[in-house]
Amino acid sequence: MQADEKPKGPASYFPSIEKKYGQPIAYWLELVGARGGMRHMEIVAWLKSEHAMGHGHANAIVAYVLASQSKNP
């Protein structure tokens, strides 16, 4: 990716997630990655209830992790 290209899709939320919730994106990706066996919306609901994360931010992280897992089973 060139320096002037902006991230697209779920990754475009990562800078604001880091800023708002005070943790690096790797922290959130690891948390969600460890939630094996749960469905997409179950993980979103978990992030919202346990970490007070907004729906859009939670959805972006879960979508990114699940897409990454499906590419690298």
The tens digit of pLDDT for each residue in 14-31 reads 999 999 999 999 999 999
- Does 66 fall in a domain? yes
- Does 10 fall in a domain? no
pLDDT band at 60 (very low <50, low <70, confident <90, very high): very high
pTM equals: 0.87
Q: Is 35 helix (H, G, I), strand (E, B) or coil?
A: coil
- Does 37 fall in a domain? yes
Between 31 and 9, residue with greater pLDDT: 31
Average pLDDT over residues 38-59: 97
Please identify which residue in the block is written with the tokens 């320096």.
3
pLDDT band at 7 (very low <50, low <70, confident <90, very high): confident
- Does 45 fall in a domain? yes
Q: What is the CA radius of gyration of the chain?
A: 12
- Does 59 fall in a domain? yes
Average pLDDT over residues 40-51: 98
- Does 18 fall in a domain? no
Domain containing 39: what range? 23-71
